[in-house]
Structure 1
Amino acid sequence: MLSSVVDSSLRHRNSEDDGMDGSSPLYHRYGEQSISSREGSHHSQKLALFRPSADTVDLGYHTLDNNVCRIPSSPSTAITARKQLFQQRHIYALGLCDLDDTQLLKIFSWLSTRDRCALSQTCRRLWEIAWHPSLWKEVEVRHPQSASIALNTLARRGLYTSIRRLVLDGATSLSGVFNSLPFSSLTSLSIRHSKRVSDSNVTTILDNCIHLKDLDLTDCGSITKAYTRIAALQLQTLDLSDCHEVNDSGLVLSLSRMPHLSCLYLRRCFCITDTSLVAIASYCGGLRQLSVSDCARITDFGVRELAACLGPSLRYFSVGKCDQVSDAGLLVVARHCYKLRYLNARGCEALSDSATVALARGCPRIRALDLGKCDIGDATLEALSTGCPNLKKLSLCGCERISDTGLEALAYYVRGLQQLNIGECPRVTWVGYRAVKRYCRRCVIEHTNPGFSS
């Protein structure tokens, strides 16, 4: 998207550079020439951005040409319509250009990448404001085929030194732009859903973007590792979710260069095993957030090793749908990770009340807990009601042993509860539902019982 707009802006500027001496009405700030003297050049100009009338068809920002407007066939009516259109354009450009640069920069800072590029096509002054480096600290390119072109365009203007956050959604090619340009200010990079991004591309990025702190490679199917030749990266967040080719050896190699990593997401990385969890515990001692949900090869051994090494530094932990994780692993979590705030154990069907009661007593700071499809009952809810007073979100979906007794105890003591999922809990009746509604007045309740009133 950005590349198409940028290229359109460049083509327009090149074609109109010869007319910068005042031949175009949009380049005059104070309107020295009369309307009649400029009607002849009207057909060769781009339309300025204005609020479209009822007879205007919006075909997109890059097609805002005069042929878009439905001008009546009558010559006299057409001339009148063109005069009115010109007046709207001229007043619009005149109003913006009357502002000083500081005010214009403030206005442009609230616009999207697409809108800034579109406004840059209206006049020379707005073109200069739109390409001010301070406006290009965050860039999003969501046109898959043109990510490389867009980056090269920004590079030609020297803006790569200003970019701090860059999003390339679905990029099909990067063509070595990170190899030739050191993005010295880049701290956050997201390359999501890019099937053609390879390990060598990622290595080049990590080698050249030395200040990078956040890297998101979600659904980059060809990635096996995020390796760099630099001894130690400043990277703090790494997201490799849905990178199905990532395995233990590649992850161990990657983590060996990331001593400052605090957030790691490995959702649906099906190839990783307990070896990866042992490596995480060894190389990333300050890790605060970890998700290995849907990684079916993770077992209690890896969870125990991880919890024992990370201890209180771990605040967010997800083992959802890791069906080999049971009480043996989460008992160690309850013993060592007493600062835990979020736990997702959905689908761990071997989990019972013994582990969840220990979690409620050992991790009093828990605010969000997902125990869906676990073999737990009212004992867990009673332990949560006394052990976790700050609980805000709780999912019990599919917990068939939960009943009204446990819900009443939970609702009475944990009145700050904001979200509760009791779907597919056959033993919960309107009595438990009404207790939650009575004591937890801000709670949003999800359920599958048609008998419950809203």
Structure 2
Amino acid sequence: MESLATVHVLGYGKVAPLLDVTVQCVVANLSSLYIESINLLPGNLKDKCLYLMSKRGCITDANLPKVLHENLRVLDLSESDVSDEGLRHLCKCPQLQKIDLNSAKQSRVNISSQGIIQLAQNCRNLQTVYLRRCLNLTDEAVIALSTNCPQLRYLNVGGCTMLTDRCLEALGRNSRFLKCLNMANTKITDAGIMQIATGDCKQCLKELDFKGKLQ
């Protein structure tokens, strides 16, 4: 007898968990009603919804708080259009370790230093932060990450064209576990590179990308 927890996929004879099919259906038909229902789900089911929503690029400032939970570890927003307002809700996620805000298509202009500073202050367990081509970031954003997130290991701020040597100095001083850093196409100079190369992170650094620096 077929389990009630599975359902046949027509035309292929394969079976998929009924739970997964249900989550796919909910995410494919997002509405205010469904979002309020998602808000009541346990964390493991919210993770499934978040994964599908991130792949579809349908996470917004409005629906993001409904799918967050206190044990969230990974959040991919690279395909979605969120702003500082959305990041404000990540105060619900103190265990967050990885956030991907890389610009998958056009450069981001709705994420600013204020949003990243709030993120760093609320999510101090961050280890991986991707912010490629977030054009409105200044040194203060990276400085906040370096001072508030002591476990920072992977940072991509390539294409954030306002960044200067100040953030490299902060990373070299505060981010002793930093392994990989992308600061391509920024305003850094050789002096800043020397700061990171001789800083407290020098024993851990494995990969640096400074190509296309503006100065």
**Is contact 1:248–1:276 with CA below 8 Å preserved after alignment?**
no
Pair 1:370–1:256, CA change in 2 (3 A): same
1:398 is aligned to 185
Structure 1 vs Structure 2 CA RMSD: 3.0
TM-score, normalization by structure 1: 0.40
Secondary structure at the aligned position of 1:349 is classed as strand
How big is the shift at 1:258?
3.3
Q: Work out the CA distance in 1 between the residues paired with 2:31 and 2:83.
A: 14
**Is contact 1:262–1:288 with CA below 8 Å preserved after alignment?**
no
Question: Unaligned regions of 5+ residues in structure 1, if any?
Answer: 1-154, 161-170, 184-198, 207-222, 227-244, 428-454
Higher relative contact order (CA 8 A, sep 6+): 2
**Is contact 1:248–1:275 with CA below 8 Å preserved after alignment?**
no
1:378 is aligned to 165
Pair 1:405–1:309, CA change in 2 (3 A): same
Kindly indicate which of the two structures has a greater share of residues assigned to helix.
1
**Is contact 2:126–2:152 with CA below 8 Å preserved after alignment?**
yes
- Structure 2: which amino acid aligns with 1:202? V
Matches within 5 A, 1:49-448: 173-174=11-12, 177-178=15-16, 202-203=21-22, 223=24, 225=26, 247=30, 249=32, 250=34, 253-254=37-38, 256-260=40-44, 264-265=50-51, 266-267=53-54, 269-281=56-68, 284-296=69-81, 298-306=82-90, 308-311=91-94, 313-321=95-103, 322-374=108-160, 375-399=162-186, 401-413=187-199, 414-415=201-202, 416-427=204-215
Secondary structure at the aligned position of 1:325 is classed as strand
Secondary structure at the aligned position of 2:93 is classed as helix
Residue deviations 1:278-325 (CA, integer Å, cap 9, x gap)? 1123xx2211111111312x111110112x2212x1111112224311
**Is contact 2:78–2:101 with CA below 8 Å preserved after alignment?**
yes
**Is contact 1:300–1:325 with CA below 8 Å preserved after alignment?**
yes
TM-score, normalization by structure 2: 0.79
Question: Unaligned regions of 5+ residues in structure 2, if any?
Answer: 4-8
Q: Work out the CA distance in 1 between the residues paired with 2:97 and 2:14.
A: 38
Kindly indicate which of the two structures has a greater share of residues assigned to strand.
2
How big is the shift at 1:423?
2.1
Matches within 5 A, 1:40-51: none
Secondary structure at the aligned position of 1:354 is classed as helix
**Is contact 1:392–1:418 with CA below 8 Å preserved after alignment?**
yes
Secondary structure at the aligned position of 2:62 is classed as helix
Q: Work out the CA distance in 1 between the residues paired with 2:80 and 2:157.
A: 17
Q: Work out the CA distance in 1 between the residues paired with 2:181 and 2:159.
A: 13
How big is the shift at 1:201?
7.5
Secondary structure at the aligned position of 1:372 is classed as coil
Residue deviations 1:266-285 (CA, integer Å, cap 9, x gap)? 4453333112221123xx22
**Is contact 1:252–1:276 with CA below 8 Å preserved after alignment?**
no
Aligned length: 199
Percent of aligned pairs sharing the same letter: 26
- Structure 2: which amino acid aligns with 1:289? V
